[in-house]
Amino acid sequence: MSLTVKNISVTYNPINQSNTFTSGDFISGQVILDVAKDTQMQSLSVKIKGKAEVYWTERHGKTTVVYSDKEKYYSVERFFVREDKPHDSSVVAPGRHVYPFTFQLPLQHFPPTFKGSVGKVVYTLETKLSRSMRISSKDKAEFHYVPGPDVSNPELMAPQYGSKDKQMKLFTSGSVSMNINTEKMGYYLGEGLKVLAEVQNSSSRAIKPKYCLYEKHSFFARGKRRLHTHDLLKEAGEPIEPNSKKTVTKVLSIPPSLAISILNCRILKVEYRLRVYLDVPYASDPEIKFPVVILPPQPVSGATNRDFGIWNQPPGSNMYPNPPPMAALAPPLHVVGPPGQFGAPGYYGPPLNSFPDPGYPGPRGPFAPPNYTGPPGQFGPSVSNHSDPSAPPPYQEYQLYPQLPDHPEKS
């Protein structure tokens, strides 16, 4: 960071207690720029992007081979200042400048945020300040994306069945068989996974049914696959005596900390398996495996993001107005100027990283200043109503709301 640019950062406003975003949500925030003196900008922008990437190396003799790949989902860049727009105010005075923005996430379902051993899925907000003959100043902030639960696939809610027979040899005589079924394939985090097992023990030894839930992370690059497996939980049932038949039910708790299944990404997959097997002494264990799909969290009935201080209704909702699009070339909220002007010392703007007033049902949506007095969508002042005589004089706050054209990433 140069001596002129003291700090540049990008932050966003959470919309719920879990600090997650899903398809179609609006994400608003601010780019914060601190400069020590008058600064000429070529451009100032904010970008939202989502991508998956994998990277690992392998030794083949004396050669190190790099395996890597990327999958891009979207990249949209918007500008506060652009060098090809001569009417832009490209010189900023010393002090702190805050540029607000709002994006709407695409309605498509993308893979959820994920970080594995050699691969990840990340969603970020990035800001970039370009100046002539200077290294660009940048900052980024990751946000957590979770797609909405897709239960339209009937296979996720259909029961699963499996059976296995095994003839014993050597130290154990006779045979064993089992019929296993589960209620469905798809489960929410924290939900119980119910397993029904019918076991016929026609052997000479007692056997014990066992259960194992494990994860499979697969990473793909250059025609190669990198696999990571890990047991998540193991449980055992009661012994079943020789020459007996028993039906047992086991409910396994899906750990709430698991990553959501990723089955719609070309370069990485996050999968889960349930392994049910019979622990047979002095013999290989017969086993049955079932796929398990961990679904995104189920929405709480009747709850909306308005409960957490910000509206987040679908576009066109009649319940609340839509949030406005990003301000096109909007002036910063905080600009240090001469006394009596917009942004002069004594200006008290909204606190950063705070929720907007949830009780304001104004015509322009929740991102408008609570005391806005102008008609919807119009550029105009908002005058404070300080009742305290010792408070600073009224200030003006300006914001523009037309949509700026998107600028997809070229690379």
Among residues 278, 295, 312, the one where a domain terminates is: 295
Q: Which of 80, 137, 79, 117 is nearest to 331 (CA)?
A: 80
> Same domain for 133 and 38?
yes
pLDDT band with cut points at 50, 70 and 90 for residue 120: very high
What domain range includes position 340?
Answer: 5-148+301-408
Q: What is the pLDDT of residues 150-159, one digit of tens each?
A: 666 888 999 9
Upper half-sphere CA count for residue 114 (Cβ side, 13 Å): 31
SS3 at position 35: strand
pTM strictly above 0.75: no
Residue 402 · residue 409 · CB < 8 Å = no
Q: What is the C-alpha to C-alpha distance for residues 97 and 35, in angstroms, rounded to an integer?
A: 8
> Same domain for 189 and 305?
no
> Same domain for 286 and 370?
no
Upper half-sphere CA count for residue 299 (Cβ side, 13 Å): 13
Q: What is the C-alpha to C-alpha distance for residues 139 and 11, in angstroms, rounded to an integer?
A: 9
Upper half-sphere CA count for residue 119 (Cβ side, 13 Å): 28
Among residues 227, 261, 295, the one where a domain terminates is: 295
> Same domain for 358 and 387?
yes
Residue 161 · residue 179 · CB < 8 Å = yes
Cα 175 to Cα 4, 19, 171, 282, distances in angstroms: 80, 54, 12, 13
Among residues 271, 295, 319, the one where a domain terminates is: 295
Q: What is the pLDDT of residues 3-62, one digit of tens each?
A: 889 999 999 999 999 999 999 999 999 999 999 999 889 999 999 999 999 999 999 999
pLDDT at residue 103, rounded to an integer: 97
Mean pLDDT estimate for the chain: 76
pLDDT at residue 282, rounded to an integer: 72
> Same domain for 101 and 162?
no
CATH code, 383: 2.60.40.640
In this predicted structure, which of 245-259, 270-284, 383-397 has the lowest mean pLDDT?
383-397
Mean pLDDT of 170-193: 88
Q: What is the C-alpha to C-alpha distance for residues 278 and 201, in angstroms, rounded to an integer?
A: 10
Q: Is the pLDDT of residue 246 over 60?
A: yes
> Which residues lie below 8 Å from residue 400, measured CB to CB, with a gap of 6+?
327, 328, 329, 330, 331, 379
Q: Which amino acid is located at 86 in the chain?
A: P
Cα 57 to Cα 119, 220, 225, distances in angstroms: 12, 12, 12
What percent of the chain has pLDDT above 70? 69
Q: What is the C-alpha to C-alpha distance for residues 358 and 257, in angstroms, rounded to an integer?
A: 31
Q: What is the C-alpha to C-alpha distance for residues 224 and 227, in angstroms, rounded to an integer?
A: 10
Look up residue 153 and give its two tokens: 């696939």
Q: What is the C-alpha to C-alpha distance for residues 6 and 33, in angstroms, rounded to an integer?
A: 8
> Same domain for 209 and 106?
no
pLDDT at residue 258, rounded to an integer: 93
> Same domain for 90 and 190?
no
Tokens 């023990």 label which residue? Answer: 201
φ, ψ at 150 (rounded to 5°): -110, 95
> Same domain for 165 and 64?
no
Q: What is the pLDDT of residues 294-347, one digit of tens each?
A: 998 765 543 333 332 222 333 333 333 344 344 333 444 444 333 333 232 332
Q: What is the pLDDT of residues 132-177, one digit of tens each?
A: 888 999 999 999 999 987 666 888 999 999 999 888 776 667 889 9
Separate counts of helices (H) and strands (E) for the chain: 0, 22
- Burial (CB < 10 A; 0-12, 13-18, 19+), residue 41, is buried
Q: What is the C-alpha to C-alpha distance for residues 17 and 12, in angstroms, rounded to an integer?
A: 14
Total number of domains in the chain: 2
> Same domain for 263 and 365?
no
Q: What is the C-alpha to C-alpha distance for residues 128 and 138, in angstroms, rounded to an integer?
A: 5
Q: Which of 2, 26, 31 is nearest to 128 (CA)?
A: 31
